[in-house]
């Protein structure tokens, strides 16, 4: 079964399939008509609405190919450029060290439901360069399971760890999810936010069609962390994107717990670098 990053992708894929089936039938009918000498109604044989859907050319749609990703997603509209924002299942290893000057790795954590989660990654730090992200769950540090650890115990363990190498086992952002939206002709994707919290969704917009919810905080845009950014800067990031935008969101109650110990000055030093090619 194929998966699609947006509802628009699914609809276009289905319509393209119908167009191809109609054209195959048209070809077959033409062959039959040629053999019988009877005229055929070409106009009624074609799929009627595909050329008008979102102003897209049906001939262009036919060249899109399914993505070869682990999710099996098919993306005739978005083209499959959501890899930076993808929340992968499973556990990955991250290897870092302490900064020789400060003796720090550049992260902070919070404990939620007996788990340890990354709540802060400092810009330019070893943690940022190693690939740790806001919302990641740390399940092991140097082979030690951190299940049930609180913030203090985790930080104390990191302070005592060998500065030359620290190994993390990490699960990608389990409290977050991604919604890919398609911009309309005005460049809008269909939701409003204040202080990064989504508070309104536009009826019949791409955001509404693809399951965006209110009372969630925006944490990433196309994989770029925006926690701590002003609304104007978040909007600027969204506007800089092409036709499709993948928004990563976190429920309000989880977000509030994650950032409760982060002051405004600390948020400004959060890593906001654009993701690099994977």
| pLDDT exceeds 90 at position 134 | yes
pLDDT at 251: 97
pLDDT at 74: 55
**CA 67, CA 82: separation in Å to the nearest integer?**
11
Q: Which residue's structure tokens are 């911009």? A: 183
Calculate mean pLDDT across residues 78-99: 82
| pLDDT exceeds 70 at position 10 | yes
Q: Among 70-84, 160-174, 217-231, which stretch is predicted with the lowest mean pLDDT?
A: 70-84
Give the pair of three-digit tokens for residue 145.
Answer: 């399971």
**CA 160, CA 246: separation in Å to the nearest integer?**
39
pLDDT at 45: 45
Give the pair of three-digit tokens for residue 220.
Answer: 């990433």
Q: Which residue's structure tokens are 């049906």? A: 58
The answer for residues whose C-beta is within 8 angstroms of residue 72's C-beta and 6 or more apart is 1, 2, 3, 66
The most confident of the ranges 9-13, 25-29, 80-84 is 9-13
pLDDT at 38: 62
Calculate mean pLDDT across residues 54-59: 46
Which tops the pLDDT comparison, 88 or 200?
A: 200
The answer for residues whose C-beta is within 8 angstroms of residue 40's C-beta and 6 or more apart is 29, 30, 33
**Radius of gyration of the chain from its Cα atoms, rounded to whole angstroms:** 24
Calculate mean pLDDT across residues 36-60: 48
pLDDT bin (cut points 50, 70, 90) of residue 159 is: very high
- Say whether 50 sits in a helix, a strand or coil: helix
Q: pTM higher than 0.95, yes or no?
A: no
Question: Closest by alpha carbon to 172, among 248, 251, 81, 266?
Answer: 248
Q: Among 63-72, 157-166, 214-223, which stretch is predicted with the lowest mean pLDDT?
A: 63-72
pLDDT at 34: 63
Could you tell me if 102 and 253 are in contact, meaning their C-beta atoms sit under 8 angstroms apart?
A: no
pLDDT at 65: 43
**CA 124, CA 271: separation in Å to the nearest integer?**
7
Question: Closest by alpha carbon to 74, among 176, 24, 178, 1?
Answer: 1
Could you tell me if 222 and 242 are in contact, meaning their C-beta atoms sit under 8 angstroms apart?
A: no
Determine what percent of the chain is predicted with pLDDT higher than 70: 78
Give the pair of three-digit tokens for residue 196.
Answer: 């990064």
pLDDT bin (cut points 50, 70, 90) of residue 68 is: very low
Find residue 145's DSSP bridge partners: 140
CB atoms within 10 A of CB 106: 22
pLDDT at 248: 97
Mean predicted lDDT score pLDDT of the chain: 83
Q: What is the DSSP letter of 4?
A: -
Determine what percent of the chain is predicted with pLDDT higher than 90: 60
Calculate mean pLDDT across residues 180-200: 94
């Amino acid at each position: 079964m194929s998966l699609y990053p947006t509802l628009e992708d699914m609809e276009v894929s289905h319509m393209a399939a119908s167009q191809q089936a109609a054209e195959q039938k048209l070809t077959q009918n033409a062959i039959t008509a040629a053999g019988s000498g009877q005229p055929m109604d070409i106009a009624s044989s074609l799929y009627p609405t595909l050329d008008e859907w979102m102003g897209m050319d049906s001939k262009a749609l036919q060249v899109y190919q399914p993505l070869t990703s682990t999710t099996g997603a098919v993306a005739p509209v978005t083209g499959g450029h959501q890899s930076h924002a993808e929340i992968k299942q499973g556990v990955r290893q991250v290897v870092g060290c302490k900064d020789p000057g400060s003796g720090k790795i550049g992260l902070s954590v919070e404990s939620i439901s007996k788990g340890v989660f990354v709540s802060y990654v400092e810009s330019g730090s070893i943690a940022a360069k190693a690939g740790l992200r806001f919302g990641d769950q740390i399940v092991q540090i140097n082979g030690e399971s951190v299940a049930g650890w609180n913030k203090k115990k985790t930080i104390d363990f990191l302070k005592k760890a060998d500065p030359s190498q620290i190994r993390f086992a990490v699960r990608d952002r389990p409290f977050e999810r991604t919604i890919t939206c398609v911009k309309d002709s005005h460049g809008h994707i269909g939701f409003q936010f204040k202080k990064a919290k989504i508070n309104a969704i536009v009826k019949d917009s791409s955001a509404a069609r693809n399951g965006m919810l209110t009372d969630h905080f925006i944490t990433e845009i196309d994989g770029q962390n925006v926690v701590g950014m002003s609304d104007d800067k978040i909007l600027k990031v969204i506007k800089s994107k092409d036709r499709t935008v993948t928004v990563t969101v976190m429920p309000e109650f989880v977000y509030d717990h994650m950032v409760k110990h982060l002051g405004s000055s600390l948020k400004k030093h959060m890593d906001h670098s654009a993701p690099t090619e994977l």
